Amino acid sequence: MSARQIVTIAALLGMCGWCSAQPAGPAPAAEPAPPVAAFVPYVGEVTGDSVYIRSGPSTNYYTVGKASAGQRVTVLAEKEGWIGIAPPPDCFSLIDARYVDRDRDPTIGIVNGERVNVRAGAENVRDPYAVQAQLDRGAKVRILGDFPNGFLRISPPEDAKLWIFGQYVQRVEGAAAPVTAAGDAPPGVPTTQPAGETVTASGDVTRITVPAAPAGTKTAEGDRAVLANLEAAVKAEMTKPLFERNVRPLAEKFQTLANQTKDEYTAHYAKTRVAQLEDLAATIESVKKAYDVHDGIAGEREQFARERERVKTVRIREPEGFAAEGELRESAVYASPTGPRRYRLLDPGKDVTRTLAYVEIPPDSPIDVTKYLGRRVGVRAQSKQLKVDSVDPVPIIVAEELVLLEDAPPKVE
C-alpha cells in the first residue's frame, strides 16, 4: 500500500469518528519518518543472450530492442524485479511532430506545447503508448528522422528509462563511473556519455570534468591531462557552424589515446568519445549530401522554368466562340488543395443537373473564379481532353478565359 493510500485512509477514519473512541489525553508526538534513501545509479552487466529491452517494467510492455551477454548498462531504477536502464545507443524516443518546431538546423526541434509526452520508440510498433518523459514549451530535442503516424524520432531525453528483467542483470562491483543519459545529444551520437559530461542540443559540450588520477600514477595523470586538452578541442570545434565542424581528426586522437593508455577510466572515456565523434561526422556528411541533392533539384527546376519560358504556348481558339457554356459550380471530386483546380460546368436548363464538362483553371491563370461561381459562363479553352474513367465520359477544358453570359441577349435560332 502506498503512502498516499495510507494517508487517505487515515483521513477517512478520522472523519468517521473512529478516533473519538480512543482514550482521551494529549496525542503522543509523532516520530519523524526515516528518510528515504535516494537510488544511486550503478553499472550493471547483462548475463543472458538476446535479453529483451522493454518500454516498461512488465512483459505487457512492447520490446524496443535486445541486449547481449556481457553488455554493460547504467542502472537508474529498480522496480518489482525489473531494472530501469539508460537507453542504449541504438534506442530512440518518439514525440508528436505537431508539438515540435524545426530550428534552422534541421536536426534540432523546439517543443511548442506544455507537458508533451515523449514515448519509447520501437521499429515494429506504430502506436507507441509507453511514456518516458514529458517536455514543456521551449525544450530542445535532437531530431533523428520521421516516423509513421505523425511521430518524430528523437534522442531519448534526460532521465528516460527502458527496462530489463532483473534476473538478467548483475551489478559490476568497482566499475568506472556510471554512463549517464545524454539528453539532447546530437543525432547519430550515442545517447550514453562519459560521466560528468553533457552534450547540448546545439552540439556544445559543457560541464566537462575529467577526474584526477589516483595519487602516484604518473602515466594516468599525464593521460588525463591529454584527455582534458582533447575535450577542450572538442568544445571549441562544437562552437563552429555544423558544416564547418571537422571532428574526424579529433576522433583519431582519442583513438590513439585509448590504445596507448593504461588508465581504465581514460581508455573507456576515449573509446566512447571516438564512437560519438565518428557518428557525428557521418551525420554531418549525410546532411551535407541531402542539402546538395536539394540544391541540385532546385537548380534543375530553375533551368526547366527558364526553358519553359522560351517555349511559345499555342493557344486554341474555338472557331465558333465558346468551347462550352453552362453554370459554374464547385466540384467535390476535385476539392483537394493539392490537385488541379477544377470546377463543374452544369446544364441549368434541365430538371436534373448534368455535368457538361470540368473546367480547369491553370496555376498561372489570372482568372478570379469567385466572380463566376454560381453564374452562367462561356468558356474559351487553351486545351481539351476527355475524362474516360467513368461510364459517361466528360470533357475537361483548360480555360483561357471565362465570360459571364447572364446579361447576354438570348440566341436567335
In a domain, 212, yes or no: no
In a domain, 263, yes or no: yes
Q: Which of 280, 311, 342 is the last residue of a domain?
A: 311
Please give the helix or strand (H or E) that residue 142 lies within, else none: strand 140-147
In a shared domain, residues 147 and 62: yes
Q: Is residue 116 pLDDT above 90, yes or no?
A: yes
Q: How far apart are CA 216 and CA 219, in angstroms?
A: 9
Q: Which has the closest alpha carbon to 261: 274, 246, 247? A: 274
Q: What is the pLDDT of residue 31?
A: 54
Q: Is residue 46 within 8 Å of 73, Cβ to Cβ? A: yes
pLDDT in tens, 342-362: 899 998 766 667 888 999 999
Phi/psi zone of residue 286: left (φ > 0), alpha (ψ -120 to 50 degrees), beta? alpha
pLDDT in tens, 155-179: 999 889 999 999 999 998 876 544 4
In a shared domain, residues 224 and 306: yes
Q: Is residue 194 pLDDT above 60, yes or no?
A: no
Q: Is residue 44 within 8 Å of 165, Cβ to Cβ? A: no
Q: Which of 262, 278, 311 is the last residue of a domain?
A: 311
Q: What is the mean pLDDT of the segment spanning 358-367?
A: 90
In a domain, 112, yes or no: yes
With a CB cutoff of 8 Å and minimum separation 6, the contacts of 379 are: 322, 323, 324, 325, 345, 357, 359, 397, 399, 401, 402, 403
How does DSSP classify residue 353? -
In a shared domain, residues 146 and 47: yes
Write the CA distances from 96 to 118, 123, 134, integer angstroms.
Answer: 8, 16, 12
In a shared domain, residues 278 and 341: no
Q: How confident is the model at residue 104 (pLDDT cuts 50, 70, 90)?
A: confident
pLDDT in tens, 306-328: 766 665 444 444 446 788 899 99
Sign of CA dihedral 4, 7, 9, 15: negative
In a shared domain, residues 366 and 306: no
Q: What is the pLDDT of residue 223?
A: 84
Q: What is the pLDDT of residue 241?
A: 86
Q: How far apart are CA 155 and CA 56, in angstroms?
A: 18
Q: What is the pLDDT of residue 111?
A: 94
Q: Is residue 91 pLDDT above 90, yes or no?
A: yes
Q: What is the mean pLDDT of the chain?
A: 77
Residues in the chain, how many? 413
In a domain, 189, yes or no: no
Sign of CA dihedral 26, 31, 32, 38: negative
Q: Is residue 180 pLDDT above 80, yes or no?
A: no
pLDDT in tens, 6-52: 444 344 333 333 333 344 444 455 555 555 557 788 899 999 888 99
Count of domains for the chain: 3
pLDDT in tens, 45-82: 999 888 999 999 999 999 999 999 999 999 999 999 99
In a domain, 284, yes or no: yes
In a domain, 175, yes or no: no
Q: What is the pLDDT of residue 412?
A: 44
Q: Is residue 377 within 8 Å of 328, Cβ to Cβ? A: yes
Domain containing 242 equals: 218-311
Q: What is the pLDDT of residue 187?
A: 37
Q: How far apart are CA 192 and CA 180, in angstroms?
A: 6
In a shared domain, residues 158 and 62: yes
Q: Which of 249, 281, 311 is the last residue of a domain?
A: 311
Q: What is the pLDDT of residue 102?
A: 86
Q: What is the mean pLDDT of the segment spanning 136-149?
A: 91
In a domain, 235, yes or no: yes
Q: What is the pLDDT of residue 19?
A: 36
Q: Is residue 94 pLDDT above 80, yes or no?
A: yes
Q: What one-character-per-residue DSSP string does 193-254 give? A: E-TT-EE-TTS-EES---PPPPTT-HHHHHHHHHHHHHHHHHHHHHTS-GGG---HHHHHHH
Q: What is the pLDDT of residue 239?
A: 87
pLDDT in tens, 205-218: 333 445 555 545 55
In a shared domain, residues 354 and 304: no
Q: What is the pLDDT of residue 351?
A: 63
The more confidently predicted of residues 391 and 359 is 359
Global pTM reads: 0.39
In a shared domain, residues 125 and 237: no
pLDDT in tens, 253-311: 999 988 988 888 888 888 888 988 988 888 888 888 887 777 778 777 777 777 666 65
